[in-house]
Amino acid sequence: MELVLGLRILRDSVPQDALQGTTGPLPSFWSPGEPCSPGRRRHFFNLSPENLSITPPWPCAGRLFDYNAGWMIRPKPFSGVSPMPMRGKRLVLLGAGHAHLPILARLPKLIEAGVQVTVVGPAPFHYYSGMAPGLLSGRYALKETRFPMRCIVELAGGEFLEDTVTIIRATRRELVLASGATLPYDVASFNIGSEIVSLPGMDAGPAVFKVKPIQNVNRLHDMVVRMFAEQETVRVVVVGGGPAGVEMSGNLVTLAQRNEASKLLDLTLIAGSKVLHNAPAAARRIAANALHAHGVAIMEGERAEEVTAEGVRTDSDRVHPANIVVLALGTSAPSVFKDSGLPVGSDGGLEVDDHLRCPDFPELLGGGDCVCPGGEVIPRVGVHAVREGPLLADNIETTLVDSGALKTFTPQQRFMLLYNLGDGSAVFNKWGVALRSRLFMLLKDYIDRGFMRSAMPGWAAAACAE
């Protein structure tokens, strides 16, 4: 945003014929359409972190303060593209994850430029997955882990639809939603995330919770706390030995400790081949030792095959008893792209080029877990979506005006991973180095809370605060 400081300057030397009859939508303390007085012009000082400049003298028109020491806030101008070709264009944003947060912050200027913006999401809030383990243990309250998407969109003047997309009719530029509605678009962008792999027998008996969407984690927390309060033994089987499975296991232990119910928790982690099988050996060892120390039974070399009435059966034909099953098996891309006949990558994610646009339909863009840059699957970690966000926002604007240079995304090859073990410590993993410390949990907490603060648009922070 820019701070625009307006100062009225009366210049008798300005030719009167250049100003007579000039009208415009003026602030409330002037009558609408009031003509400028002869000789009246304005200068405006534009103050921003990037520049300090004085605009040319403007006639008395436009939504600017004419005030001896008045000021107003207005969005930054479009960078490198004219807003005029955007007027009347229809932009649809599917999902409101990390990669869409920067374009959501730009909604006021897009709408002011005449773009019709619709955001489609499965819920009024978007939940930050990085804080899900802490939500389970009680470190974070639910409201600390989410963005108020409906409020942000509607405050900016856009439309929010609580719905999901089921079919993309790319040749006709329209979307079919789960509600049956059809939504036309000129440009559409997808940030609909990924889906947790299921197991057969999900309704066999035990309560089954996938770790996505994050609302499931909150429901899991509430159910476990209720069972502890009733002094009921909680037999949990966590399926999946990756980061999500490790973090869920550690934070379930902490939840039991906070409720003074450690003796009521019977926790098994079915890890597949190994715990954190893609991580360095040191990270695997640190995580496994930490979970073992808290009484978690880790089953390596076993893979879950189905949920049964008694628990979870593995490929060794062994059944692990459970009344709660947590699925953290890994993720897959949503099927909507393949179902719609669009080009997809090896895992079914929307294929995009290095500008994050679909090669066959450049008016379709996307970021985050649901896309495959160059048709290749990249690790589904938040750092990619966060880095894609500003670039995706710029390329959406460029696509809306159908001109200008597109920006290029290059996936980051090395990135830091921090695993929340639930006990106040975290595992640091980068450059093949793995360390465990409470300092790393403080670092993770600082990063997560900082991201939540920085991703909330400043113009919406007060109005949309919970």
Residue ranges covered by each domain of the chain: 2-74, 84-122+163-194+333-407, 197-331
* Confidence category of residue 455, pLDDT binned at 50, 70, 90: confident
Cα distance between residue 119 and residue 455, in whole Å? 17
Q: What is the pLDDT of residue 80?
A: 46
Q: What is the pLDDT of residue 59?
A: 38
Q: Count of CB atoms within 10 A of residue 150's CB? A: 21
* Confidence category of residue 11, pLDDT binned at 50, 70, 90: very low
Spell out a b/e string for 51-78, using b for 16 or more CB atoms within 10 Å of the CB, else e.
Answer: eeeeeeeebbbeebbbbeeeeeeebeeb
For the chain, give the mean pLDDT: 83
pLDDT in tens, 390-437: 999 999 999 998 878 999 988 877 888 999 999 999 999 998 899 999
Write down the pTM of the prediction.
0.79
Looking from the CA of 377 toward its CB, the CA atoms found within 13 Å total: 11
196 has pLDDT over 90: no
Say which range, 33-47, 277-291, 438-452, has the weakest mean pLDDT. 33-47
Strand partners, 120: 94, 161
* Confidence category of residue 385, pLDDT binned at 50, 70, 90: confident
Cα distance between residue 256 and residue 46, in whole Å? 56
* Confidence category of residue 351, pLDDT binned at 50, 70, 90: very high
Same fold, 84-122+163-194+333-407 and 197-331: yes
Of 386 and 302, the structure prediction assigns the larger pLDDT to 302
Q: What is the pLDDT of residue 57?
A: 37
- The fold of the 84-122+163-194+333-407 domain, in CATH, is FAD/NAD(P)-binding domain (3.50.50)
Q: What is the mean pLDDT of residues 362-372?
A: 94
pLDDT in tens, 47-99: 333 333 333 333 333 333 333 333 333 334 444 445 567 788 999 999 988 89
Locate 277 and state its tokens. Answer: 């099988």
316 has pLDDT over 50: yes
Q: How many residues does the chain have?
A: 466
Locate 96 and state its tokens. Answer: 């409101």
Q: What is the CATH number of domain 197-331?
A: 3.50.50.60
